[in-house]
């Protein structure tokens, strides 16, 4: 073990990983963050930490967890990898009563049920489930959601899709679902060298905050309908809507006409209000 302790009074993360025999598993989408300055920056980006309740998904050996706790937060950490539990238990012992570790798959756990009162999510998400988790958090049946903000690490390419504007190459399903109900901002990039093992791509940190708008301003489309419409529209993004929407309905012409949208347009040209109109007209056809 290294002679010096980290600033939070715990052993350096490299020592923790070595002592517990941890190695990032590709099958779990793991890339461990070891730079405590960087984890501190991510934690602070989530907002004031003193007394806050934060849900973290995929803490691994606990680099970001330690930063959140050092800032004064109470943390609920969801970890699937049983190998990491002993390392997290040491952190919990160092911060009595402020870290709860829940063993399990985040895709199978209702994170909102783990907290009582206002909470936020801050995580270096496992790459293999990050997008699916984000979509779930953005599309609950009831809005506003249980979370106050999302501060998340993604591959930069994914992060750029979340914040992309209509008419741009990156604009797509994630852009529409994120910007319909929330404000998304790309905060900063993270070089591969910050991780162990280093991924082949640059990462980026996003912050997403729910919009506080009346239902009529948001559009009264149901999330499930919007998801289906957007998925179909972008399934063949280089084709016209009258072709790509055949994945949704056999003959898209009546649907497009009801929504007042030219079938020769492509999905990337549609604004979010236009997608909402399509989703409402689609729901009417189903009903």
What letter would DSSP give residue 261?
Answer: -
Residue 162 phi/psi, 5-degree rounding, is -65, -40
Q: Is 261 left (phi over 0), alpha (psi -120 to 50) or beta?
A: beta
Block residue for tokens 């930063």: 67
Q: What is the mean pLDDT of the chain?
A: 91
Sole residue written with tokens 């079938």: 263
How far apart, in Å, are the Cα atoms of 269 and each of 45, 70, 197, 225, 245?
32, 45, 39, 19, 14
pLDDT higher at 28 or 185: 185
Tens-place pLDDT, residues 228-237: 999 999 999 8
% of the chain exceeding 90 in pLDDT = 76
Q: Report pLDDT digits (tens) over 138-177.
A: 999 888 999 999 999 999 999 999 999 999 999 999 999 9
- Assigned token pair, 150: 């999302």
Tens digits of residue pLDDT in 102-143: 999 999 999 999 999 999 999 998 888 999 999 999 999 888
pLDDT score of 108: 97
Digit-coded pLDDT (tens) for 46-89: 999 999 999 999 999 999 999 999 999 999 999 999 999 999 99
Secondary structure of residue 152 in the 3-state scheme: strand
Integer Cα distance of 168 and 165 in angstroms: 6
pLDDT at residue 219, rounded to an integer: 60
d(CA 166, CA 272): 8
How much helix, strand and coil, in percent to the nearest 5, is found in the chain?
45, 20, 35
Each as own residue / partner, the long-range contacts of residues 71-74 (CB below 8 Å, 24 or more positions apart, any chain) are: 71/40, 71/43, 71/44, 73/43, 73/49, 73/98, 74/98, 74/99
- End-to-end, the C-alpha distance of the chain in Å comes to 65
Q: Are 152 and 205 in contact (CB under 8 A)?
A: yes
* Model confidence at 2: pLDDT above 60: no
Average pLDDT over residues 245-258: 97
CB 78, CB 144: distance < 8 Å:
no
Residue 158: both structure tokens together? 């994914």
């Amino acid at each position: 073990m290294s002679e010096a302790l980290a600033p939070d009074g715990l052993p350096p993360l490299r020592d923790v990983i070595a002592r517990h025999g941890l190695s990032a598993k590709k099958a779990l989408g793991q890339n461990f963050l070891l730079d405590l300055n960087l984890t501190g920056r991510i934690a602070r980006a989530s907002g004031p930490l003193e007394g806050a309740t934060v849900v973290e998904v995929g803490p691994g050996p606990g680099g970001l967890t330690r930063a959140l706790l050092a800032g004064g937060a109470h943390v609920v950490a969801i970890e699937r990898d049983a190998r990491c539990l002993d390392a997290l238990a040491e952190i919990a012992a160092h911060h009595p009563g402020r870290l709860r570790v829940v063993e399990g798959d985040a895709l199978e756990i209702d994170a909102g049920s783990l907290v009582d009162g206002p909470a936020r999510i801050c995580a270096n998400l496992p790459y293999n489930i990050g997008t699916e988790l984000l979509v779930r958090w953005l599309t609950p049946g009831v809005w506003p959601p249980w979370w106050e903000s999302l501060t998340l690490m993604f591959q930069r390419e994914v992060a750029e899709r979340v914040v992309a504007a209509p008419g741009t190459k990156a604009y797509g399903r994630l852009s529409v679902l994120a910007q319909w109900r929330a404000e998304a901002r790309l905060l900063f990039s993270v070089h591969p060298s910050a991780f162990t093992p280093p991924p082949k791509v640059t990462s980026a940190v996003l912050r997403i905050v729910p919009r506080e708008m009346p239902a009529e301003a948001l559009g009264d489309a149901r999330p499930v309908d919007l998801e289906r419409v957007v998925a179909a529209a972008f399934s063949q993004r280089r084709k016209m809507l009258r072709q790509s929407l055949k994945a949704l309905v056999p003959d898209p012409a009546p649907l497009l006409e009801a929504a007042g949208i030219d079938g020769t347009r492509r999905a990337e040209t549609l604004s979010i209000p236009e997608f909402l109109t399509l989703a409402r007209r689609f729901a009417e056809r189903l009903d």
